């Protein structure tokens, strides 16, 4: 089912006109005629859009033109414009700044439709796994959560992290970025962490109420805080200038396809991506627990997404979640 998004507010209609006439100036007169509003009202909306970060230039005698994106805010309107997914991202809760999109998503999950997106330009308390922190600087990345309500057995839920990881790698690839997956939830680019996934769930023993899929991706950061300096990178730092809205659009489509497959146990394409783009299969790793750090070789990922390990004493083990690090001097991850 194709859904066409119509701009709902007058301000959205003004952005729409500017986005559609990207290369040319458009006069205030023609905007006012198109929308049936006064010139003064056009000017008022332009002023307010400029405040939101839209780089709109005005030239007397010619009108207005929208320049390339500077450091401009995400807008739900631009995210929804031309969306190719049918339910992922169709409802959007946008915040300029928030503590954590995962936390907010959990609050609204029960009454929200599946696929609802919570997204922010900045998080003041972005979370990683095990109460770790996710650094989420203003306008430097994508920080978002998707509300999911799959009718699946509880044991299958943790694989969703990897479904999202595979979809992310696929999306990166479509922008020419060769990212790898460090099982189970890190996305690595040139040996450093470019994105992380945090999947949280509310469930009873035999029923899932909802799952919150939280994703953080570094886009524009060039300097990282001391604590992550050695291990983090951004798309811009690695030489890629990708617009966040464009990336999201692709990702929602890739993830929605993979999610639909996952719901009917068709995970072959996902597994193929996971194995082909794994940063750990075939590598010497450490398996980290609260008690110890054990050397092992990562052999494969099985059809349920478990990591198959071979320890130094010849024992084999399958782990379905956990913490690993890759051995080797120049590996920070
Ligand atoms: C993760 O945890 O990698 C999951 C990150 C999920 C973040 C998203 S943002 C939207 C949504 N809302 C939230 O509040 N969270 C989700 P973990 O595997 O535990 O990795 C955390 C570790 O990654 C930290 O301890 C740091 O070492 C490192 N780290 C923190 N911020 C980073 C960043 N921006 N880039 C790269 N590495 C980072």
Query: pTM score, two decimals?
Result: 0.87
* pLDDT of res. 6: 56
What six digits make up the tokens of 21?
A: 């006439």
Choosing from 216, 221, 234, 279 the residue with most ligand 1 atoms within 8 A of its CB, the one to mutate for a pocket test is 216
Among protein residues, the one whose CA lies closest to atom 26 of ligand 1: 228
Over range 293-313, report the average pLDDT: 95
What six digits make up the tokens of 291?
A: 């008690």
In whole angstroms, give the CA distance from residue 114 to residue 120.
19
The dihedral sign for the CA sequence 102, 107, 108, 110: positive
Residue 77: which pLDDT band, with cuts at 50, 70 and 90?
A: confident
Output the CA 236–ligand 1 centroid distance in Å.
Answer: 18
Over range 190-194, report the average pLDDT: 96
Among the ranges given (7-11, 129-133, 291-295), the one the predictor scored with the smallest mean pLDDT: 7-11
In whole angstroms, give the CA distance from residue 120 to residue 234.
18
Cα angle 284-288-294, degrees, rounded to a multiple of 5: 55
Among the ranges given (1-5, 208-212, 261-265), the one the predictor scored with the smallest mean pLDDT: 1-5
Over range 109-115, report the average pLDDT: 97
- Which residue spans within the chain are E strands per DSSP? 56-59, 63-66, 92-95, 117-120, 141-148, 180-182, 186-189, 192-204, 207-218, 284-288, 293-301, 307-311, 316-319, 323-326
Among protein residues, the one whose CA lies closest to atom 3 of ligand 1: 196
Contact 28, 63 (CB under 8 A): yes
User: pLDDT tens digits for 267-301?
Assistant: 999 999 999 999 999 999 999 988 888 999 999 99
């Amino acid at each position: 089912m194709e859904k066409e998004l119509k701009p709902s507010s007058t301000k959205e209609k003004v952005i729409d006109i500017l986005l559609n006439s990207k290369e040319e100036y458009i006069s205030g007169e023609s905007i006012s005629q198109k929308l049936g509003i006064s010139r003064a009202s056009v000017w008022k909306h332009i002023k307010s859009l400029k405040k939101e970060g839209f780089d709109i230039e005005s030239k007397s005698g010619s009108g207005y033109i929208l320049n390339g994106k500077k450091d401009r805010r995400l807008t739900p309107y631009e995210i929804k414009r031309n969306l190719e997914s049918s339910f992922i991202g169709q409802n959007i809760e946008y915040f300029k700044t928030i503590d954590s999109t995962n936390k907010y998503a959990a609050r609204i999950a029960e009454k929200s439709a599946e696929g609802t997106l919570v997204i922010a330009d900045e998080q003041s308390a972005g979370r990683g796994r095990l109460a770790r922190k996710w650094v989420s600087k203003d306008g430097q990345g994508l920080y978002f959560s998707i509300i999911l309500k799959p009718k699946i057995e509880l044991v299958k839920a943790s694989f969703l992290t990897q479904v999202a990881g595979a979809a992310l790698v696929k999306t990166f690839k479509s922008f020419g970025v060769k990212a790898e997956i460090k099982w189970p939830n890190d996305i690595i680019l040139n040996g450093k962490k470019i994105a992380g996934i945090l999947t949280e769930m509310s469930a009873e023993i035999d029923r899932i109420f909802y799952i919150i899929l939280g994703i953080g991706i570094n886009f524009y950061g060039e300097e990282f805080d001391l604590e992550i300096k050695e291990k983090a990178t951004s798309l811009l730092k690695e030489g890629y200038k990708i617009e966040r809205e464009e990336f999201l659009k692709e990702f929602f489509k890739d993830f929605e396809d993979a999610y639909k497959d996952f719901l009917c146990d068709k995970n072959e394409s996902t597994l193929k991506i996971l194995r082909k783009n794994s940063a750990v299969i075939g590598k010497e790793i450490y398996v980290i627990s609260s008690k110890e750090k054990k050397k092992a070789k990562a052999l494969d990922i099985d059809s349920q997404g478990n990591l198959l390990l071979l320890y130094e004493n010849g024992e084999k083990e399958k782990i379905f979640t956990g913490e690993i690090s890759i051995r080797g001097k120049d590996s920070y991850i």
